Structure 1
Amino acid sequence: KNSSSHSMMCLLEEGEQDTLSKDLPQDGLASTSDKPTVDNVTTTKNDDDDSDIFQTDQIKFRTPGSKARAKQCTDEDEEPSKSRCVATDRKTTSGEKLLGVSCSCACHSLDKPCMGATDEAEPIRLPKIYFGTRTHKQIAQIIRELKRTAYSEVKMAILGSREHLCVHPEVSRSKNKNDGCRELLDTKTGISCRYYANVQKIKHHWQLEGHGLTSAWDVEDLVKLGKKIKSCPYFATRSLANDADVIFCPYNYLIDPLIRSSMDITLKDQIIILDEAHNIEDSAREAASATIRADELQDVMDELDKLIQYKWREEHCRAMHVVAANLQRWIASQSGSLSQNDFNKASKVWSGVEMVAQFNNMGVSPGTFDVLKHHLAALFEEPNPQIPVEEMMSLTSASGMLLRGLFIIVDYFFRENMVYMKDYKVVMIKEFSQRKGRDNTDNRWLNPRRGSSERLTYSLNFWCMNPAVAFSDVGGEARTIVLTSGTLSPMGSFASELGVEFSISLEANHVIKDSQVWVGSIATGPTGKTLNASYRNTETFNFQDDLGRLVLDVCKTIPFGVLCFFSSYSLMLKLSERWKNTRLWSEISEKKIIMTEARGGMKKEFDEQLKEFYSTIEDFESSGIEDRTVTGVLFLAVCRGKVSEGMDFADNNARAVITVGIPFPSFKDPQVELKRAYNDQNRDRGLLSGSEWYEIQAYRALNQALGRCLRHR
């Protein structure tokens, strides 16, 4: 199998054929000396967010009766070492099966005193390695590769959500595992979780070794053990991280300041490796962005009113109520000045400078912000057992997240003499959206909100145009940062968007030989029709039918798995509908079982679909295809969807990959429009032009889709 060859095809827009070869995945590596500074980037948010991405738990601000968690501390050098930032753009080798970069790093200077050295000669604190990636499946692939190295017995931990780690028989099957878990841990309910009570059984690495986990383990291994001995993997991983040398976690645990704080992650003088780093730009920009809905802001005010009524931390609640009320009044005052964008949506844009002036009018300014932060922090302090009302009530997690999220944005606006305020656009949007019912599992003293309904809502969106705003927190603290991906190239554009001057870079040769893969662009279909995948041309039956005939010919010729990626969901649905209305769909079905990636599908549904795909291919492999009419599976999917990034389609799972069109971000998306304009206005900082940035987003997504069949040497 490991020497099997693959085929890839690509249908490009007219005039794009020559661009493909230079934009196919390149390998690279980059690094900075001195503390890296970062600039901006923005990629459009997927219509269908990858639900397999480590889902951030709704932040737990306080579990009643719980003790403050011990925080990890790193002593500082008297003369801190310079940060180094390394980014590698590697060819996708044996699939995202490989670690991408294998390196050992002697980060400690032997001729200097150890960090925090004193006359008492404290123990040397070696830096931890944080390995960040996007999905749980990617972590599993990395762990498999780690097991093959000399470091397989390294002390490690995997930080994840309850979605992946909860083993409670009832909570693990519930729709909202976070609230179910908190309800069990809430001392007011009189219920308890015996799995949490037994967490001490697996909270140390030597205990894991005693249960047979002597080498690199995956989440599934820990979950299996937790079920066996009735101990909680979710809370165990946090204890394991304290002593771990390598910690695997999702990007947002490292990039997002709110999550980083809630997870007690300290990055000072640590080593950070970010795999599949082509997504870091978008992750960093989103981490420094926030959306405040007017109805959710009203919920916060109602909740604070109740807390004030019961005299629960009254002074601090009143201060936060003033902030929320002033912002709510401002939103209401601006609602009549929005410009209509389409039939049911209107909006208005403010610059960061203009928004700072508005904040000042609301009583939020650099002069008052420290006092306001003190009031906010007081809402999340541990309850005073001497005051009965403190044990009975607390601010809900949803309200806490909204207030903390708002204050993080304001902090970025005011930081370092407001250097970042020009990197923001504030957009108010009026549209119809779903209004969800309030979940009060941890605060029964609140009146429940009525069920979900669709209604007109106003949202205030703080959109960060510059990923450096959030990434500078990481780059300014970490000792070393390594970025690696198969689609970082062109390296210059990636560096300019992140604002990092890479002093060390590597663009490695591809491990795939020319004899193993064929890459080509198809200009015409079987009947000679031009396959120009521009928007206007895809509307024609000539294009739709000839493309269908081409896919049919591929399915007749190539055995086992075939992946076909479209530039958008709308194009995939349009073509599928046309093929069903003709004989093409049934003709393809005579050669391949057809599966279609669902839009907005839940993680469980997608996992089941992927499992079905793999098992079907295995059936064809075991039974053979020589005497069978149907020879495999055709998987229709979308660039930037779940299938196109991070999924492993080795060997017979993908003998061909077809891409239709170029997956440009939505041109009318307001974030895309603002980002393009932002880049054009900041060319003097070395940024790409708006058009150049726009094209690179498309080709990176295209290369990710094409790379699905490059799974081994």
Structure 2
Amino acid sequence: MATCDDNIAITEIAGLYLQALALVNVLKSTLQGLPSVMCAVNIPLKKIKRNLNELFGTNQPSNNDIPIADVTPMELEEDQSAQNRKLNSMIESFRCETSMLVDCSLPVVYYTTRTHKQLEQVVKEFRRTVYCGKALMTILSSRDNSCLLSLDRSRWSSKNDMCRDCTKSSKLSKESEASNQPGVSNKPSISNRLTNCEYFDNRRKLNHRTLPPAFDLNDLIHNGNRLTACPYYAARDMMKKANVVFCPYNYLVDPTIRNSLQITLKNNIVIIDEGHNIEDMCRSTATFNFTKKELQSAIKELNIVSSYLFANQNLMPRIERLQKYLNNWEKWFDDETKKMSITGTVSLKTWEIEEFVQSLNNCNIGIDSYHDFNRNVSEFCQRLRENPRSLVGVTQATGNFLESLDTVLGK
């Protein structure tokens, strides 16, 4: 016999069931291309629905329609208690399942190898699995490996600087303005260009729909040329929806690269192919070689940008602190150079660890100054990434110099 408590429990289960169905519909629209995952999500709902049907029948009868069997009051009470226990257990189980549905998120699989050549083989094997076409993928690489433009070294020192200049938002050129005048044929390929890089403007043409289900770097570059679209930025855009991300070691080991790409390893899956090689990559990431000439170049660029007071009011205190810090490094170079022994045309000096640390502290560039340096570098380089045009005269080389120095000193 169904009691008032039973009806309340049934109503609560029905409400939870409808809530879970709504959540599943949301998940189905979100987790596209992953039927195996949705199958797993649907299992507890089907199981609970089957248990409800077994317990009460497909159509729930009213109290008046329930036949009264010849049972004793004690047997009836035991039967109702058993049903209540089963109902309560189902409610708690269902609450747990629905809370898991609300909080669940799919982890991203980061598969990393030492070289892109090794990634080619991994992608080839991925192509043969049942997951190919169901799990979206992308492959990350540097501009040096994936930029389709040729570097003009008379204008830029690196492809990073070239890319930053070419992807700035540009106004219509005089030629495009002329093409829009009456009597002049219109040229959409020029006049509609958003930046000075046609590949960057077309980057969204290169996506999971226009690429094969599994692709390596060569496939990405080939299709980039075919669609006149940028492989570098397309791969980064596809990472937002990718379930599997293939990349070299340094994309996960180097904090500078991780931060620039907003890669989060927490609660995700990391697979390191030939993990014995990663020790060398970690050592390389924590090592930074630079010359006094590179240091002076960074100081020069900071001096230039500091002259634009109005454009960088909020960042000026950071710039001034970085100028002071790099000037201290230059002083350290001068002081230590005087102590070097000259053998032929080579000057050499080897420090003991304690002596080296003390020499840094003497020039105010040691561990006591690191946290302030780290904070200033973080904000400066973030501005350089997000709004490079506001930092007039600063190249990507200076940003890389500051971040590499920060990484090494932070170890």
The answer to whether the superposition gives a TM-score over 0.5 is: yes
Flag structure 2 segments of 5+ consecutive residues without an equivalent: 1-92, 173-194
Task: Go from structure 1 to structure 2 and tell me whether the alpha carbon gap of 1:249 and 1:361 turns closer, same or farther (over 3 Å shift).
Answer: same
Identity %: 32
Aligned equivalents of 1:173 and 1:328: distance in 2? Answer: 31
Report Cα offsets for 1:18-75 as digits up to 9, x if no partner: xxxxxxxxxxxxxxxxxxxxxxxxxxxxxxxxxxxxxxxxxxxxxxxxxxxxxxxxxx
Verify: 1:131 aligned to 2:133, yes or no. Answer: no
In the alignment, which residue of structure 1 is the partner of 2:143? 162
Task: Go from structure 1 to structure 2 and tell me whether the alpha carbon gap of 1:256 and 1:181 turns closer, same or farther (over 3 Å shift).
Answer: same
Task: Go from structure 1 to structure 2 and tell me whether the alpha carbon gap of 1:192 and 1:398 turns closer, same or farther (over 3 Å shift).
Answer: same
In the alignment, which residue of structure 1 is the partner of 2:357? 356
In the alignment, which residue of structure 1 is the partner of 2:188? none
Aligned equivalents of 2:211 and 2:307: distance in 1? Answer: 55
In the alignment, which residue of structure 1 is the partner of 2:319? 317
What is the CA distance between 1:180 and its match in structure 2?
A: 3.0
Q: Please show how residues 107-256 of structure 1 align to structure 2 within 5 Å.
A: 122-153=102-133, 154-167=135-148, 171-172=149-150, 176-187=158-169, 191-203=195-207, 205=208, 208=209, 211=210, 213=212, 215-256=213-254
Paired amino acid for 2:111: F
Q: TM-score, normalised by structure 2?
A: 0.61
What is the CA distance between 1:231 and its match in structure 2?
A: 2.3
Larger strand fraction of residues: 1
Aligned equivalents of 1:118 and 1:362: distance in 2? Answer: 59
Aligned equivalents of 2:275 and 2:216: distance in 1? Answer: 22
In the alignment, which residue of structure 1 is the partner of 2:340? 338
Report Cα offsets for 1:328-384 as digits up to 9, x if no partner: 1111111122245x543232222444333233222245554333333223323448x
Aligned equivalents of 2:227 and 2:217: distance in 1? Answer: 16
In the alignment, which residue of structure 2 is the partner of 1:329? 331
Aligned equivalents of 2:159 and 2:389: distance in 1? Answer: 25
Task: Go from structure 1 to structure 2 and tell me whether the alpha carbon gap of 1:220 and 1:315 turns closer, same or farther (over 3 Å shift).
Answer: same
What is the CA distance between 1:140 and its match in structure 2?
A: 1.4
- CA contact 1:163–1:172 (8 Å) conserved in 2: no
More contact order relative to length (CA 8 Å, sep ≥ 6): 1
In the alignment, which residue of structure 1 is the partner of 2:404? 405
- CA contact 1:323–1:362 (8 Å) conserved in 2: no
Q: Please, which of 283, 297, 320 is the counterpart of residue 299 of structure 1?
A: 297
What is the CA distance between 1:198 and its match in structure 2?
A: 2.3
Aligned equivalents of 1:232 and 1:359: distance in 2? Answer: 43
Paired amino acid for 2:169: T
Flag structure 1 segments of 5+ consecutive residues without an equivalent: 1-112, 413-713
In the alignment, which residue of structure 2 is the partner of 1:374? 375
Deviates more, 1:263-272 or 1:360-369: 360-369
Aligned equivalents of 1:212 and 1:266: distance in 2? Answer: 25
- CA contact 1:183–1:189 (8 Å) conserved in 2: no
- CA contact 2:109–2:269 (8 Å) conserved in 1: yes
Three-state SS of the structure 2 residue aligned to 1:132 is: strand
Task: Go from structure 1 to structure 2 and tell me whether the alpha carbon gap of 1:305 and 1:136 turns closer, same or farther (over 3 Å shift).
Answer: same
Report Cα offsets for 1:677-700 as digits up to 9, x if no partner: xxxxxxxxxxxxxxxxxxxxxxxx
- CA contact 1:162–1:234 (8 Å) conserved in 2: yes
Aligned equivalents of 1:254 and 1:212: distance in 2? Answer: 25
> Number of matched residues?
286
Paired amino acid for 1:408: T
- CA contact 1:195–1:232 (8 Å) conserved in 2: yes
- CA contact 2:137–2:244 (8 Å) conserved in 1: yes
Q: Please show how residues 11-90 of structure 1 align to structure 2 within 5 Å.
A: none
Aligned equivalents of 1:357 and 1:173: distance in 2? Answer: 43
Report Cα offsets for 1:223-256 as digits up to 9, x if no partner: 2322333322211111211222221111111112
What is the CA distance between 1:192 and its match in structure 2?
A: 2.4
Paired amino acid for 1:234: Y
Aligned equivalents of 2:171 and 2:288: distance in 1? Answer: 33
Task: Go from structure 1 to structure 2 and tell me whether the alpha carbon gap of 1:294 and 1:149 turns closer, same or farther (over 3 Å shift).
Answer: same
- CA contact 2:140–2:247 (8 Å) conserved in 1: yes
What is the CA distance between 1:218 and its match in structure 2?
A: 1.8
In the alignment, which residue of structure 1 is the partner of 2:267? 269
- CA contact 2:203–2:231 (8 Å) conserved in 1: yes
Task: Go from structure 1 to structure 2 and tell me whether the alpha carbon gap of 1:332 and 1:366 turns closer, same or farther (over 3 Å shift).
Answer: closer
Paired amino acid for 1:244: A
Three-state SS of the structure 1 residue aligned to 2:234 is: helix
Paired amino acid for 1:373: N
What is the CA distance between 1:160 and its match in structure 2?
A: 0.8
In the alignment, which residue of structure 1 is the partner of 2:83? none
Alignment RMSD, CA only?
A: 3.3
What is the CA distance between 1:148 and its match in structure 2?
A: 2.1
Report Cα offsets for 1:566-594 as digits up to 9, x if no partner: xxxxxxxxxxxxxxxxxxxxxxxxxxxxx
Three-state SS of the structure 1 residue aligned to 2:277 is: helix
Task: Go from structure 1 to structure 2 and tell me whether the alpha carbon gap of 1:359 and 1:188 turns closer, same or farther (over 3 Å shift).
Answer: farther
Paired amino acid for 2:404: G
Q: Which has the larger radius of gyration?
A: 2
Aligned equivalents of 2:113 and 2:241: distance in 1? Answer: 21
Aligned equivalents of 1:363 and 1:392: distance in 2? Answer: 26
Larger helix fraction of residues: 2
What is the CA distance between 1:163 and its match in structure 2?
A: 3.3
Aligned equivalents of 1:400 and 1:349: distance in 2? Answer: 29
What is the CA distance between 1:323 and its match in structure 2?
A: 0.8
Three-state SS of the structure 1 residue aligned to 2:262 is: coil
Task: Go from structure 1 to structure 2 and tell me whether the alpha carbon gap of 1:257 and 1:378 turns closer, same or farther (over 3 Å shift).
Answer: closer
Task: Go from structure 1 to structure 2 and tell me whether the alpha carbon gap of 1:308 and 1:179 turns closer, same or farther (over 3 Å shift).
Answer: closer
Verify: 1:257 aligned to 2:255, yes or no. Answer: yes
Aligned equivalents of 1:409 and 1:363: distance in 2? Answer: 16
Task: Go from structure 1 to structure 2 and tell me whether the alpha carbon gap of 1:281 and 1:212 turns closer, same or farther (over 3 Å shift).
Answer: closer
